[in-house]
Amino acid sequence: MWKVYGNALMTADIDGTTKTNAMKVKMNADTVVRAVRTWFVFFNDPVYTELRFRLYEDQGGAAGKLIATSTNALTAATIFIDDATNTSAMKGVYFEFADVALKGTNFYHVLPYATGYTGNDSSHISWVKGWPDNEYRAGLTLSYEEIQVSPYRFAVIGADL
């Protein structure tokens, strides 16, 4: 049996109210972001209208000004196209961007964004952690006790500037 770890996202976490679950990232070089791929667990048929992804500037180590929102939006119908009766699943999804230029010298923050979302303990979207096999694992201690500081499972699709 597979185990997947993530952070359950409550309503304020991804409706734009707070940015507490934003992940800080830095590009290896100046990059044009065309898309990102990330993974979510949809638990017990969470209610939402659209799921998108956002990029933010770094402001003193926290997510600051909004840079871009994904050009595509996902709905339950598009995410569960292969099995509409399945109300709980882990899915890898893509969010597209209109060629957003990010500098390799700056930090940024990434965060899912949902409209019409009502996440709670019994029905929610969880953003999947990369633990124990992170795509980017430099400087990480791979112990269960360190799971909360593990980055989310996330990949950038783009090109060097």
How many helices (H) and strands (E) the chain has is answered by 2, 9
Question: What is the reported pTM?
Answer: 0.86
Q: Give, in order, the Cα–Cα distances in Å from 160 to each of 66, 71, 110, 136.
A: 22, 20, 19, 18
Task: List, in sequence order, the alpha helices (H) in the chain.
Answer: 11-14, 76-79
Residue 91 phi/psi, 5-degree rounding, is: -135, 135
| Mode of pairing for the β-strands spanning 89-102 and 107-115 | unpaired
- List the chain pLDDT tens, one digit each, 161 residues: 456 678 899 999 899 889 988 999 999 999 999 999 999 999 988 999 999 999 999 999 999 999 999 999 999 888 876 666 677 788 899 999 999 999 999 999 999 999 999 999 999 999 988 755 555 555 555 554 554 556 788 889 999 98
Distance (Å, whole) CA 4 – CA 128: 7
